[in-house]
Amino acid sequence: MANVVVVGSQWGDEGKGKIVDWLSSQADVVVRFQGGHNAGHTLVIDGVTYKLSLLPSGIVRPGKLSVVGNGVVIDPHALIAEIERVSAQGVSITPETLRIAENACLILSLHRELDQQRESANSGTKIGTTGRGIGPAYEDKVGRRAIRMTDLTDLGTLMPKIERLLAHHNALRRGLNLAEIEPQAIYDELAAVAPKVLPYVTTVFDLLDEQRRAGKRILFEGAQGTLLDIDHGTYPFVTSSNTVSGQAAIGSGMGPSAINYVLGITKAYTTRVGGGPFPTELEDENGQIMGDRGREFGTVTGRRRRCGWFDAVLVRQAVKTNGIDGIALTKLDILDVFKEIKVCVAYELDGKQIDIFPANQDAQQRIKPIYETIEGWDSTTMGARSWGELPAQAIKYVRRIEELIGCPVALLSTSPERDDTILVRNPFE
């Protein structure tokens, strides 16, 4: 059986929710492998809308096993609240349907406070974080001082670990003129949530190996997008984890041989939330039209997204860094009203043409997009379920994107509705 990794090939918000939902109906196991509750998926199933941040998309489907891997940082309070909220919508969430890695690191209240303090400071670079503590939690993880899920199993051994954590954080807080935190406060916070989360905790790498050996289909569900990757994104305007497909192996404990197909979710234009470079950004009427027609507001933050023309250079890089086998092209219908559509095919940097997005932050500010103009189709693609229902110019646009990014379209989405999808290749087959 094929195992599929789903990643965003742009700055996130590519419409992964619908595609992941479509794929999760075919999967036996759905695994979150990075990030935290700073990214969200919106699923619409039988007319009911589910907004998920930490819970894998498979949780809303009976008979599926949902797994939160070790690559995710988990705010236990946010997890409990999300379980309660989704359960109130009629979804059964039990230790038989949801499993959480024992070696996943925790987000604590001190992480949230530090994140918000940094982002609101008057000096320094504003990254545009959600202020939910994800970055500081990952810092503690690599600093080898994090509290992990497994630490909650024996509260008697927790205090020395808390003291080690606070030796770092209280020094930071003194520098920020914040009150120091007493170890007992963190202990009480963790002791209160431990009974609520521990029933879900297990050795995930072993569980997933059992599922693989039993021939189960596994879907690895990425959050955010490639261009927010800590290594391969628009640094420093990135998230604090690896969002590329290789993280599916690391963040689940399965190993790269378990991955059979990488699907890159790709919007037919470009959006991003927060600060950072955006070569094809439109600050005119066209950008406004895209935002309004595409309902471009963040699932988690509610912030309006910046909009621009499709950037083939960036997506081509995402294809390479993820090893993408096929893309799911979403929101084609948003472009229905444009007489002409532009696609960025290269950049100009200091008078020279280049075909990669430079890693240097200063160079990123100086690049200018080189556009190719494609005639619009001036008719609707919304709801199309076969190539024969698409205008000829829309097909030409899709084929040109395939050429420019060096990757075929596996699925084409023409509306938020699940069945409004043109299937070229099923990644599971």
41 is annotated as an active-site residue: yes
Residue 250, token pair as written in the block: 């690391």
Q: How many CB atoms lie within 10 A of CB 429?
A: 8
For β-strands 340-349 and 368-375, DSSP reports them as: antiparallel
Residues 308 and 323: their CA atoms lie apart, in Å, by 25
> Closest Cα to residue 56, out of 67, 40, 45?
67
Catalytic one of 21, 37, 41, 333: 41
Q: Are 75 and 132 in contact (CB under 8 A)?
A: yes
**Among candidates 31, 97, 95, 34, which has minimal Cα distance to 61?**
97
- Distance (Å, whole) CA 275 – CA 284: 18
- Answer positive or negative: Cα dihedral of 381, 387, 393, 399: positive
At residue 77, what are phi and psi to the nearest 5 degrees?
A: -70, -45
- Locate all alpha helices (DSSP H) within 299-428, ordered by sequence: 312-322, 361-366, 392-405
| 5 phi and psi angles, rounded to 5 deg | -105, 130
Query: What angle separates helix 158-175 from helix 183-197, to the nearest 10 degrees?
Result: 130
Residue 249 phi, psi (nearest 5): -70, -45
Q: Is 350 a catalytic residue?
A: no
Instruction: Name the active-site residue from 13, 75, 151, 311.
Output: 13
Which positions are catalytic?
13, 41
